[in-house]
Chains A and B, each alone.
Chain A
Amino acid sequence: MNAPVRMPKLIKGATGDWEVVIGMEVHAQVSSNAKLFSGASTEFGGDPNDHVSLVDAAMPGMLPVINEECVRQAIRTGLGLKAQINLRSVFDRKNYFYPDLPQGYQISQFKDPIVGEGVLTIDLENGAQVEVGIERLHLEQDAGKSLHDQHPTMSFVDLNRSGVALMEIVSRPDLRSSEEAKAYVTKLRSILRYLGTCDGDMEKGSLRADVNVSVRRPGEGLGTRCEIKNVNSIRFIGQAIEYEARRQIGILEDGGVIDQETRLFDPGKGETRSMRSKEEAHDYRYFPDPDLLPLVFPQELVDDLAAHLPELPDEKKARFINVLGLPAYDAGLLVADKDTADYFEAALNAGGGKRDAKAVANWIMGDISAYANSVSKAVSQTFITPEQVAGIVDLIGEGVISGKIAKDVLAIMVEEQGGDPRAIVEARGMKQVTDTGAIEKAVDEIIAANPDKVAQAQAKPTLAGWFVGQVMKATGGKANPQAVNELVKARLGL
């Protein structure tokens, strides 16, 4: 069998095919208690300017002191991206004016970032894998927030986010479709969540992407790119790329040229538009921040963090396939979200039990997920515990109930928002009847009551199914279908 390969995705234009080339700059908020250079809280949604120190407000004479946990989080993330960790890095000032940037510059890293080149592997729909190059990861400060809709002539500025640590993670232009770009952000978010270095909550702005898009004829050099700023959902990333690629193709096919510019995605209209005002500000006049010495740490710190890194999605998936024997598809689905993967393993190992991994996976990805979706929750957030899933799987495995009855057991649990599957089965007499005597009795009664059907079935054996159905009905669905089938055939002499 050949391994699935990455299929080129070309966009049809009026004059031929085009290839889209995408690179991403993802801003991920570092999970930490305090800000990058001050002791103010990073908590989301405080009262205006409540999580602000005089450092964050850039009061004269205030000096930044770096938060060691933010440094560790950046190193962990670098390790998770299999990247070069730079034992010496430098903070620079990126100068621009905006009301939510009180310093008049952002402390960032320009020439010497804390993390260098790495790689992230994405899984495509058809099972193919693509390695996306990571160019760098650097630490920088977030800006404050401006509200423009509170007043006719004034903007309101809240500095609570000002100074919160961000990791800017820059990819190589290795992505070739909106699907790949979405898979990249999804995978990156998954890794960050596994590492615990960013909560990945796009609704709260913890993760946002600047998307660089250009188009070219297949095989040609890179075209001029446009940068779509601050796209804050994975769906919008896809829409923005689709729109932007078509826009650029339209211009090129009409004989025009692409202006390299910064654009904004408008989710309401589903289109991108130019942010001309950003252009002249691009001269950031970076220089090393004289308030901060170079950031230097020993290799031992990196080694120590590496030794305590959790199992990441790729490794977990490989283990689920190779050790637990799950199909690649199932393993991929289960590991995408760390909580779901943990839930699966808790169900698999509950009570020290030995149960079939595929059976547990089927229940979690099937009925349990269906219920979770119906209440808009993740599997791990539902009332159903991994132990309860294990209980259902065990009851089926032991032949106590059939898969069909198990669905009824789950329905009762949902109805009552709890309950031990075994106790439910006991209390409601839902046990599968494996006692042949009882099944024989039911079979005999139905055969005796329906002599005409017996004659028909003996002429046409496929009609035996009718008897099986009647017996199942008579036993309240609790008879073992296999046993009923065999008995009916024997009694009818088929």
Chain B
Amino acid sequence: MSVDATTVRRIAHLSRIAVSDADVPHLEDELNSILAFVEQLGQIDVSGVEPLTSAMAMTMRLRADEVTDGGYAAKVVANAPVSEDNFFLVPKVVE
């Protein structure tokens, strides 16, 4: 598996990361070397082996349906660059 320059630009856009044209070639190389490294995993025969979802034999914990959290709007927006009346304010996005 490998990526080309178009894919690099596309991934950058989907991730909302600004990538200049000058950066594309070396990012392409870096991503391809990472993919090549990961691809070594393909050398191992895992036929008949169940995917491992946890290092411990356990199933997912569930919580009771009780309201135990919230009620601290000021804390929620405390780190927002801009807020008003406990709303987050962001540059306008309209369809």
Contact = CB atoms under 8 A, between A and B. Distances in A.
A154 B92 contact: yes
Contact of A41 (B61, B64, B67, B88): B67
A65 B62 contact: yes
Contact of A153 (B53, B58, B77, B91): B91
Contacts of A56: 70
Contact of B70 (A51, A98, A152, A280): A51
Interface stretch (A31-39, A120-128, A423-431): A31-39
Nearest to A153: B92
A69 B91 contact: no
Interface stretch (B22-30, B31-39, B41-49, B78-86): B78-86
Given A34-B68, A51-B70, A57-B76, A155 B92 contact: yes
A402 B2 CA distance: 86
Given A52-B70, A157-B88, A293-B54, A97 B16 contact: yes
Interface string A66-109: 11111100000000000000000000000101110000000000
Contacts of B90: 99, 154-155, 157
A53 B14 contact: no
A418 interface: no
Given A67-B63, A157-B89, A40 B70 contact: yes
A489 to B, nearest CB: 71
A33 B86 contact: no
A34 B67 contact: yes
B95 to A, nearest CB: 6
Interface residues of B, number: 37
Contacts of A97: 16
Interface residues of A, number: 55
A49 B65 contact: no
A264 interface: yes
Interface of A: 32-34, 38-41, 47-57, 65-71, 95, 97-99, 146-148, 150-159, 264, 275, 277, 280-281, 283, 285, 288, 292-296
Interface of B: 10, 13-14, 16, 53-54, 58-71, 73, 75-77, 82, 84-95
Task: Give the 7 A-B CB pairs with smallest separation, nearest first.
Answer: A69-B65, A39-B68, A39-B69, A40-B70, A53-B69, A68-B62, A49-B73
20 contacts: A32-B65, A33-B67, A40-B69, A47-B86, A51-B71, A54-B75, A54-B76, A65-B61, A65-B63, A66-B62, A68-B64, A69-B64, A99-B88, A99-B90, A155-B93, A158-B87, A275-B95, A293-B53, A294-B53, A296-B60
